[in-house]
Amino acid sequence: MKNFLLLLKQNPRAILGLSILLLWILLALLGPSLLPYSFSQMDMDNQISRPGLNGHLLGTDALGRDILTRIVYGSRSILTIALMTSLFSSLAGILIGFTAGYFGGFWDTLFLRIMDIVMAIPPLVLSMVVLGILGDSTIASLTIIVSIAYTPATARVARGALLSCKGSEYVDAARIRGESDFYIMFVEILPNTLGPIIVEITARFAYSIMMIASLGFLGVGLQPPTPDWGMMVIENKSIIREAPWAVLYPSLAIASLVIAISLFSDFISKVMIHEK
Amino acid sequence: MKNNTLLEINNLTVTYKTLTDSVVALRDLSISLQTQEALGIIGESGCGKSTLSYAIMGYLSSNGRCDGEILFEGENLLTKNQKQLMEYRGNRIAMVYQNPYSSLNPSLTIGQQLDEVTIFHRKLSRKQAREKTLEALTDLYLGDAEGLVKRYPHQISGGMQQRVCIAMALLCRPNLMILDEPTTALDVTTEAVILDIIGELKRKYSMSLIYISHDLGIVNKISDRIAVMYRGEVVEMGFKRALFSRPSHPYTRALINCIPRAGVVKEEVRLNTIPGYVKRRGLQETGCPFVDRCEKRVPGCTDKYGMMERDSNHYSACDRAYATDVPDKEIKALKISKEIPQPEERILDIKELYKHYRQGGTKIRALDGVTVSLETNQVLGIVGESGCGKSTLGHTVSGLLTPTRGHIIYKDKEISVSWRKRSPEILREIQLIFQNPGRSLNPSFTLETLLGRPMKKLLGISSKKERIKLSRQILAKVDLSEEYLNRKTTQLSGGEMQRAAIARAFSIAPNLIVCDEPTSALDVSVQASVLNLLSELQQTSGASYIFISHDLYVINYISDYIMVMYLGRICEYGKKSEVVGPPYHPYTEALLSAVPDVDPSLDKNTIRLEGSPPNPTQRIKGCPFAGRCHKKIGKICDTTPPPRIEFSESHFVYCHLKPEDLGAV
């Protein structure tokens, strides 16, 4: 932990990434109680108001809704879904990837083929089709679908990490001690593979944000009037000439969050893998 | 005299900056090397031997800093830029590394890689370069050079790879060749051949050599002068005869005494050890670097310090190796606790054991009919080159591998099954100690968990308090203090890790322990203490060992019986005194002859085995060793299985020669 802070100090980009991420988390937690508007409240006198005018810091959209408020509310859902997605897909990935890699042979081949099939469909297309069929998306359905779409990738990472440890002599030592396969996989091997897995979780976090924003943009994200960053971009596209801010600010929000997480994830991978 | 100096290093200090502090890797180091001289550099790992070679080559990593001067033919290499250094590197100073596999490019043929050197440095045409390449390969006695240049590194054996690396270093006819542990990863037989070739090439091309090794025997064989390094300083330097016969520095003396050599056996002496381990050196420390581990220290050792000429051309920082004011540490013979005459009953019976496995479509015969037995409280040493099946035998006994055919009978119970089918009782009684403790102890756990888990699992001790209490007792037995319970293996030195691994094996009172090369990853000083510990524990606990090693002297030290294996078959078996002396199997004789000795006055007769054991894919009709045997009679060796010749009740060899021909050459 001491080394972690020391390394962080030497790495200004990681500090930048971490601060932006923390700022978004703070906004998501405290923002709504500080803002005077609700996300669906329409200011009928100030439709398409410029940023900074009439008490709207980032302006309003065609319906007179406050952009800042909608972005802050939108950060709540997107952060929640992305965090859950990265955790769930990693958990499922570890379970599947470890089982396949550990037992090898037939199960491994079967796993690899199934994963190849799922991976052949772009995750975005897969999620879009499934969500389109299911109808109105909720936080739960979005989380589940995106997690499933990302599981093959995380499972491959977990399988690779397991394979690099599986040949270790401590695994042999555990075997001739009569340990169960479950114990060997999750007690002996798992702690030694945490490096690449944590890196995968942070990277997956950034991917999830992009995916959810994209799904919102394509209209299969959270349904109105719930604010959603991707949806905000598409619904304000028609007024982009009159009110560019209504598209610009949600886009910036997505970009800043993804970049922040990526910078931080680069740092994590440096600490967890390369410095060892 | 001055004109003959090829390399002169004056007051070289190398510091590495790390995240938290600075570490001194080399400190105020001065050595010189004459033309056509071979300088051997010895010391434990972490003493800065490799850093020295990297500093000379200008290959230090970016956080390293060099002060002082490195004069090569009068030119200071440290003031040269990268481009100027190119004139020297690979061209006039060449280097050979420890691991040949990682120094050769796996995606280029050997010919391409070697040609490149002269095309780059000498601006030769492709055709001329190829001629040079073939010439260099022939110099290394690599038969069929024409065929070899078309092959890829992975298609040849490790010994051949290292010879290719040396050929590569030789291409530009360097004035200085630096060899950094070039034979450490190889078998003794291959090592002996390579050392011979290096010595010959040095004479042929009038090269100077710097030979870095932790093995005193090798350095003794190849060098004229020897420098002993400790914690980044040269503590003693002189001609090998003077240095080995009467070392001046206590460290040199201690190192020499650590090595198990011919005739040193556990019944007579414990091996000398150097307590403690090589610590990193801070910037501010003064005084003798060895003071904390030195048995001859006096209060003044912590401040005054400096190299002095003790004898003609024999320099040393200290002359207290034989000081009489502090008595020599008494090296006691091991007390053999045989007051109660133990009934020697058979604990293990291996009958006609075969292990065949498939590797990429070909069948490998790792074990080809091995029959051997072991009694309680005995140590069976198994020796042979890599690929002879010794580890396979150990792993089948411990249950990691299942034999293809044959029986392993442990105390009247058939156990030729894998670990999955063994009862907890058997799993507890047969333990395995691995070669590399860093890989066999899970780096994520503390010693408390590492020692406690087998107790919980195999002894059924559910109380954590009880387990900790037992762990403390067992740690005390392996000379580790209680505080180690909370440490992870990454915080331990190599020797401490192996002690922890031994503690784990002994924590559940086993009866049979398979030791698979437990000391080959360790420094000689640590090896000595681990061997002492193992033989002590064996004699006090009454357990039996199967001790696997490629080092005949280590085997000779610790075993009661020795089995020499080749290609999955037994060549010779007997009590250790019977095996290491004549009459012996030609293979045993070759192995014995290959081990380099530390005593400069000994001149061993030399039997050189060419090549390495073939891959055991074919069914061998005759004697497995026939292809490389120096005493091969003729066709009969290839076609008929050798008969068993019994010299005594316990001693037998498999050979076609007449018993009277099995003496020394």
For residue B439, give the chain A residue with the closest CA. A169
Q: State the Cα–Cα distance between residues A53 and A66, nearest whole angstrom.
A: 11
* Residues contacting B2, CB < 8 A, separation 6+: none
Q: What is the mean pLDDT of chain B?
A: 85
List residues of B whose CB lies inside 8 A of any A CB: 19-20, 398-400, 419, 422, 424, 427, 430-432, 434-436, 439-445, 453-454, 457-458, 504
Mean pLDDT, range B38-52, rounded to an integer: 88
Q: Phi/psi class of residue B157: alpha, beta or left (left: φ > 0; alpha: ψ in -120 to 50)?
A: beta
Query: Looking at residue A189, what DSSP letter applies?
Result: I
Residues linked to residue B26 through DSSP beta bridges, in sequence order? B14
CA terminus-to-terminus distance, chain A:
14
Asked whether residue B329 carries a pLDDT value surpassing 70, the answer given is: no
pLDDT for res A249: 87
For residue A120, give how far its alpha carbon lies from the nearest alpha carbon of chain B (Å). 30
Mean pLDDT, range B386-408, rounded to an integer: 89
Bigger pLDDT: B19 vs A189: A189
Residues linked to residue B349 through DSSP beta bridges, in sequence order? B373, B409
pLDDT for res B386: 82
Report yes or no: A6 at the B interface, CB cutoff 8 Å.
yes
Q: Report CB contact under 8 Å: A178, B441.
A: no
* Residues contacting B45, CB < 8 A, separation 6+: B214, B278, B494, B523
Residue of A15, A87, A16, A6 whose CA lies nearest to A275: A6
pLDDT for res B3: 61
Pick from A173, A178, A179: which is nearest to B440 by CB?
A: A173
Q: What percent of chain B has pLDDT over 90?
A: 21
Selected for mutation to probe chain B from A166, A168, A177 (highest B CB count within 10 Å) is A177
Q: Which two tokens stand for residue B550?
A: 């490629």
B29, B9 Cβ separation under 8 angstroms: yes
pLDDT for res B594: 84
Residues composing chain B: 665
For residue B397, give the chain A residue with the closest CA. A176
Q: What's CA B572's distance to the chain center, in Å? A: 23
Q: Report CB contact under 8 Å: B424, A178.
A: yes
Q: Determine how β-strand B64-72 pairs with β-strand B75-76.
A: antiparallel
User: Within a 13 Å sphere around the CA of A216, how many CA atoms are in the beta-carbon half?
Assistant: 31
* Residues contacting B269, CB < 8 A, separation 6+: B331, B333, B334
For residue B399, give the chain A residue with the closest CA. A176
Torsion angle of the four alpha carbons B467, B470, B476, B477, in this order, in degrees rounded to the nearest 10: -120
Report yes or no: A179 at the B interface, CB cutoff 8 Å.
yes
* Residues contacting B141, CB < 8 A, separation 6+: B163, B197
Residue of A108, A131, A127 whose CA lies nearest to A118: A127
Chains A, B: CB contacts under 8 A, how many?
Answer: 57
Asked whether residue B130 carries a pLDDT value surpassing 90, the answer given is: yes
| Residues on chain B touching A177 (C-beta within 8 angstroms) | 427, 453-454, 457-458
Mean pLDDT, range B337-349, rounded to an integer: 67
| Preceding peptide of B583 cis, ω within 30° | yes
Can you list the alpha helix ranges (DSSP code H) found in B75-187?
A: 82-86, 100-103, 110-121, 126-139, 145-148, 158-170
Pick from B424, B430, B434: which is nearest to A173 by CB?
A: B434
Asked whether residue B91 carries a pLDDT value surpassing 80, the answer given is: yes
| Buried b / exposed e along B284-304 (16+ C-beta atoms within 10 A) | eeeebbbbebbbbbeeebeee
Other Cβ atoms closer than 10 A to A63: 15
Other Cβ atoms closer than 10 A to B619: 8
Q: Which two tokens stand for residue B547?
A: 């001790």
Q: Report CB contact under 8 Å: A178, B458.
A: yes
Q: Report CB contact under 8 Å: B442, A192.
A: yes
| Residues on chain A touching B441 (C-beta within 8 angstroms) | 170, 173
Torsion angle of the four alpha carbons B180, B185, B190, B191, in this order, in degrees rounded to the nearest 10: 40
For residue A168, give how far its alpha carbon lies from the nearest alpha carbon of chain B (Å). 6
pLDDT for res B601: 64
Report yes or no: A4 at the B interface, CB cutoff 8 Å.
no
Report yes or no: A182 at the B interface, CB cutoff 8 Å.
no
Report yes or no: A173 at the B interface, CB cutoff 8 Å.
yes
pLDDT for res A69: 85
Q: Phi/psi class of residue B28: alpha, beta or left (left: φ > 0; alpha: ψ in -120 to 50)?
A: left
Burial environment of residue A219 by CB neighbours within 10 A (0 to 12, 13 to 18, 19 or more):
middle
Tens of pLDDT, residue by residue, chain A (276 residues): 567 777 888 888 888 999 999 999 998 888 877 777 777 777 777 777 777 777 777 777 777 788 888 888 888 888 999 999 999 999 999 999 999 999 988 988 998 899 888 888 888 888 888 888 887 778 888 888 889 888 888 999 999 999 988 888 899 999 988 899 999 999 999 999 988 888 889 889 989 998 888 888 888 878 777 788 888 888 888 888 887 887 888 899 899 999 999 998 888 888 877 655
For residue B398, give the chain A residue with the closest CA. A176
| Buried b / exposed e along A146-161 (16+ C-beta atoms within 10 A) | bbbbbbbbbbbbbbeb
Burial environment of residue B614 by CB neighbours within 10 A (0 to 12, 13 to 18, 19 or more):
middle
| Residues on chain B touching A191 (C-beta within 8 angstroms) | 442, 444-445
**What is the side-by-side strand order in the sheet with B75-76?**
B22-34, B5-17, B64-72, B75-76
pLDDT for res B73: 87
Q: Which two tokens stand for residue B78?
A: 């440290």
| Residues on chain B touching A6 (C-beta within 8 angstroms) | 19-20
pLDDT for res B227: 93
Q: Phi/psi class of residue B244: alpha, beta or left (left: φ > 0; alpha: ψ in -120 to 50)?
A: alpha
Mean pLDDT, range B9-28, rounded to an integer: 84
Asked whether residue B23 carries a pLDDT value surpassing 50, the answer given is: yes
Question: At B417, is the pLDDT very low, low, confident or very high (cuts 50, 70, 90)?
Answer: confident
Q: Report CB contact under 8 Å: A169, B439.
A: yes
For residue A192, give the chain B residue with the closest CA. B444
Residues composing chain A: 276
Asked whether residue B606 carries a pLDDT value surpassing 90, the answer given is: no
* Residues contacting B580, CB < 8 A, separation 6+: B262, B552, B556, B562, B588, B592
Asked whether residue B468 carries a pLDDT value surpassing 70, the answer given is: yes
Question: At B146, is the pLDDT very low, low, confident or very high (cuts 50, 70, 90)?
Answer: confident
Residues linked to residue B180 through DSSP beta bridges, in sequence order? B212
Q: Determine how β-strand B176-180 pairs with β-strand B5-17.
A: unpaired
Q: Report CB contact under 8 Å: B453, A6.
A: no
| Buried b / exposed e along B457-494 (16+ C-beta atoms within 10 A) | bbbebeeeeebbebbbebbebbebeeebbeeebeebbb
Mean pLDDT, range B454-464, rounded to an integer: 88
Host H or E run for residue B547: strand B544-549
For residue A193, give the chain B residue with the closest CA. B444
pLDDT for res B340: 45
CA terminus-to-terminus distance, chain B:
43
Q: Report CB contact under 8 Å: A170, B440.
A: yes
Report yes or no: A12 at the B interface, CB cutoff 8 Å.
no
Selected for mutation to probe chain A from B401, B430, B439, B506 (highest A CB count within 10 Å) is B439
| Buried b / exposed e along B413-443 (16+ C-beta atoms within 10 A) | eebbeebeebeeebbbbbbbbbbbbbbbbbb
Backbone angles phi, psi at B174, to 5 degrees: -65, 155
Residue of A257, A261, A204 whose CA lies nearest to A230: A257
Q: State the Cα–Cα distance between residues B207 and B202, nearest whole angstrom.
A: 5
| pTM of the full structure | 0.84
Report yes or no: A105 at the B interface, CB cutoff 8 Å.
no
Lowest-pLDDT choice from A26-30, A165-169, B117-121, B300-304: B300-304
Asked whether residue B600 carries a pLDDT value surpassing 80, the answer given is: no
Q: State the Cα–Cα distance between residues B128 and B148, nearest whole angstrom.
A: 17
User: What's the one-letter identity of residue B617?
Assistant: T
**Per-residue pLDDT tens digits for B276-294:** 777 777 766 777 888 888 8
Pick from A6, A169, A192: which is nearest to B19 by CB?
A: A6
Mean pLDDT, range B205-214, rounded to an integer: 90
ipTM of the complex: 0.80
Query: Looking at residue B39, what DSSP letter applies?
Result: E
pLDDT for res A259: 92
